[in-house]
Amino acid sequence: VLGWFYVFPAYRLPSDKEIVEEVLGLGEAWKKNQTGIDLYRSVPECCNPRWMFAVTKENAPIGKVLWYDGEYYYSHTVNNETYSVFVQTTPLKPLKKCAVVGNGGILRHSKCGRDIDQADFVMRCNLPPLTKEYLEDVGNKTHLVTANPSIIEKRFQGLLWSRKAFVDYLKAYGSSFIYMPAFSMKPGTDPSLRAYYAVTDSHSNLTMLFANPDFLRNVGKFWKARGVHAKRLSTGLFLVSLALGMCDEVTVYGFWPFSIGLDGQPISHHYYDNILPGKWFHAMPEEFVQLWHLHKSGTLRVKVGSCQ
């Protein structure tokens, strides 16, 4: 009798070296596969991100209970105050070419800036630095950027004192959407609202959007069913999921949670520093394996290495 191992060999995450070999082995060839994209979109958990991804006055009217997706048993009931900060309806139209930019060190010296900036819609994670020294590698165009409430707390003193440094810092993102998970963890709601008021009071061209916890929860379920075993997905994977449901063509850059680059040399964790994440790091390689499957099936394109 054949053991189960013959049918389902024990799953093992490839080593960093094996991943490099696999990526190099496949080379640059890539072909979009509409069937793969349609298949992704046919999964109920996936969709409908365009309408679901943010809380709006339409999908979260007064009295609606928003269950925090990162906590058990906490909810927020939409009231006059929170309702007034939500956008009316979904601000996104169906999109053509989207670039999702992770913060991986693989972007350093990639010269991918022009490629990225050529996309119709560019999404970035966690208010990354877009200063001159990185321009060639990561570009500077931004249509949507995520901001974690913890960044507001740590980098901008919770906006309890000066808001100027925050508002000035955001100028790098032009008139994009700032997407905050305000209803994921309870302590994140207040700083998110403070960020909203800092932005709105400064008459900037930015638009604050709050992530819809139902959307984040659905995306979590979707990837869990596909073998990503993390307490929480990385920010980047949320954005990839949003892009896949909304864009004709998705290319992802800066997703490479490994210790070596394609040349076998050590690589930093971020394109701007080498501060490793805490307890959630272990999920990123699993996430990459899933992205790589989608790359191979033509559903999205994973760009690693140089863009020249």
Applying CB under 6 A, the residues found at the interface with ligand CDP are 102-105, 125-126, 234-237, 254-257, 269-270, 277, 284
Write out the two tokens for 159: 């906006």
Pick 90 or 124: Cβ nearer ligand CDP: 124
Pick 59 or 153: Cβ nearer ligand CDP: 153
Pick 62 or 276: Cβ nearer ligand CDP: 276
CA distance 115 to 136: 10
Q: Where are the alpha helices (DSSP H) in the chain?
A: 4-7, 16-26, 34-41, 49-52, 80-85, 113-117, 132-138, 149-155, 164-169, 189-201, 213-224, 235-244, 283-296
Beta carbon of residue 127, minimum distance to ligand CDP (angstroms, whole number): 9
Beta carbon of residue 101, minimum distance to ligand CDP (angstroms, whole number): 8
Closest residue to ligand CDP, judged by C-beta, is: 236
Pick 102 or 213: Cβ nearer ligand CDP: 102
CB 106 within 8 A of CB 214: no
Pick 193 or 239: Cβ nearer ligand CDP: 239
Beta carbon of residue 159, minimum distance to ligand CDP (angstroms, whole number): 19
Beta carbon of residue 78, minimum distance to ligand CDP (angstroms, whole number): 27
Pick 66 or 228: Cβ nearer ligand CDP: 228
The closest alpha carbon to 234, from 279, 269, 280, 268, belongs to 280
CA distance 195 to 186: 15
Produce one character per residue of 230-261: b if its CB has 16 or more CB atoms within 10 Å, e if not: bebbbbbbbbbbbbbbbbebbbbbbbbbbeeb
Beta carbon of residue 65, minimum distance to ligand CDP (angstroms, whole number): 27
- DSSP 8-state assignment for residue 158: G
Coil, helix or strand at residue 100: strand
**Amino acid at residue number 147:** A
Beta carbon of residue 231, minimum distance to ligand CDP (angstroms, whole number): 12
The helix-helix angle for 16-26 and 283-296 (nearest 10°) equals 20
